[in-house]
């Protein structure tokens, strides 16, 4: 009989926390206990999991006794506060915030790309889940990098409002309704209205003119793919889509890779679905990726501006593969190989 594990979900009532529970149920993770944790605001709330009613408990420093794996989706500050306590209690933390990603003692993991890095959890008892936009890009790029080393990446993202949270989804809904009724559109979540608009502004701006989101893609890509010298330039844009991030990715390699070779490599790559037949209007769409765990790749073509370049279009559900599913996949590797 397979061993069963005790799992805690910190931030269980949030959008990603709820998706953690959905993915845990879908993938039939063997559990002897599922402990739901959240802020005092949600303490006592009941959540149905596979027909059982579970009570949400307050997230505290002593919440992790007897827990094997703690899935965290409760914000960077709370992760910095509580993740060390979980690790001290013997749990392995898989954290979805940005708090630990660039810590040299904490592995930053996408299971299709660098599963070997998971062993680094022994340093601090913590594994970091990368940024959603980074995850889908490196899933698509890893098979190509293995064929011909990547020199340079230029990426422009088109990111769904769900990446900002439930309040942003509501704001977009309300703005669309107001527009349809001829009423003024209010914006509180974003500095400008998001309905029928594109905002080249995700997270705060830094002194170099890039945003934090853009620099996450630069630094996380280097760490995950273990190519610290790769050149990356990112422009991240918020668009009026509810779920799934889309990316235009331009890659320059050290040696040639033809579009046909790339398609063949990606067709059988783990975690990838190739959708690439423009003659039939078949290419990755945000609405098709929504609710799915795969990274969709298409529009693969030669980059006409450099000798060894390709351009492609990459789409994935930012709440699932971009957050919850990736974390649960890390937990599966931990259960299978390390715990």
CA distances from residue 13 to 42, 104, 175, 270, 332 in whole angstroms, order as listed: 7, 30, 25, 30, 22
Distance CA 196, CA 64 (A): 45
Q: What is the mean pLDDT of residues 213-234?
A: 98
pLDDT digits (tens, 9 = 90+) for 293-334: 999 999 999 999 999 999 999 999 999 999 999 999 999 999
Task: Please name the residues in contact with 26: beta carbons below 8 A apart, sequence gap of 6 or more.
Answer: none
Percent above pLDDT 90 for the chain: 99
Q: Of the listed 57, 74, 145, 245, which one is catalytic?
A: 245
Q: What is the mean pLDDT of residues 278-282?
A: 98
Per-residue pLDDT band for 1 (boundaries 50, 70, 90) equals: very low
Q: Are 319 and 254 in contact (CB under 8 A)?
A: no
Q: Is the pLDDT of residue 117 over 60?
A: yes
Q: Of the listed 132, 145, 166, 201, which one is catalytic?
A: 132
pLDDT for the residue 277: 98
pLDDT digits (tens, 9 = 90+) for 246-273: 999 999 999 999 999 999 999 999 999 9
CA atoms within 13 A on the CB side of 308: 15
Q: Is the pLDDT of residue 2 over 80?
A: no
Q: Is 132 a catalytic residue?
A: yes
Q: Is the pLDDT of residue 196 over 70?
A: yes
pLDDT for the residue 189: 98
pLDDT for the residue 333: 98
Q: What is the mean pLDDT of residues 52-81?
A: 97
Distance CA 195, CA 178 (A): 10
CA-closest candidate to residue 289, choices 306, 270, 271: 271
Q: Which domains does the chain have, with CATH numbers?
A: 5-129+323-338 (3.40.50.720), 133-318 (3.30.360.10)
Q: Is the pLDDT of residue 200 over 90?
A: yes
What's the whole-model pTM score? 0.97
Token pair recorded at residue 63: 């919440």
pLDDT digits (tens, 9 = 90+) for 26-36: 999 999 999 99
């Amino acid at each position: 009989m397979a061993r069963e594990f005790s799992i805690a979900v910190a931030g269980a009532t949030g959008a990603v926390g709820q998706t953690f529970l959905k993915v845990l149920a879908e993938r039939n993770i063997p559990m002897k206990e599922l402990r739901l944790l959240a802020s005092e605001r949600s303490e006592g709330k009941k959540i149905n999991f596979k027909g059982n009613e579970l009570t949400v408990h307050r997230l505290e420093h002593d919440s992790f006794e007897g827990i094997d794996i703690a899935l965290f989706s409760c914000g960077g500050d709370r992760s910095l506060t509580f993740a060390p306590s979980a690790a001290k209690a013997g749990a392995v933390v898989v954290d979805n915030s940005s708090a630990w990603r660039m810590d040299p003692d904490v592995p930053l993991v996408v299971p299709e790309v660098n599963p070997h890095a998971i062993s680094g959890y022994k340093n601090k008892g913590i594994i970091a889940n990368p940024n959603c936009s980074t995850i889908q890009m490196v899933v698509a790029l890893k098979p190509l990098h293995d064929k011909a080393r990547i020199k340079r990446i230029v990426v422009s993202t088109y990111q769904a409002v769900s990446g900002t949270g439930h309040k942003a989804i509501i704001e977009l809904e309300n703005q669309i309704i107001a527009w349809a009724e001829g009423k003024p559109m209010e914006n509180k979540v974003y500095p400008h209205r998001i309905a029928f608009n594109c905002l080249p502004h995700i997270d705060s701006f830094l002194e170099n003119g890039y945003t934090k989101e853009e620099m996450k893609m630069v630094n996380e890509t280097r760490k995950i793919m273990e190519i610290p010298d790769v050149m990356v330039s990112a422009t991240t844009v918020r668009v009026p889509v509810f779920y799934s991030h889309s990316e235009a990715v331009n890659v320059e390699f050290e040696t040639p890779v033809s579009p046909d070779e790339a398609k063949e490599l990606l067709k059988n790559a783990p975690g990838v679905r190739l959708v690439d037949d423009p003659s039939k209007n078949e290419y990755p769409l945000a609405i098709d990726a929504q609710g799915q765990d795969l990274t969709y790749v298409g529009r693969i073509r030669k980059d006409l501006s450099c000798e060894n370049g390709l351009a492609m279009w990459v789409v994935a559900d930012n709440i699932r593969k971009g957050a919850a599913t990736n974390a649960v996949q890390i937990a599966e590797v931990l259960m299978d190989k390390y715990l």
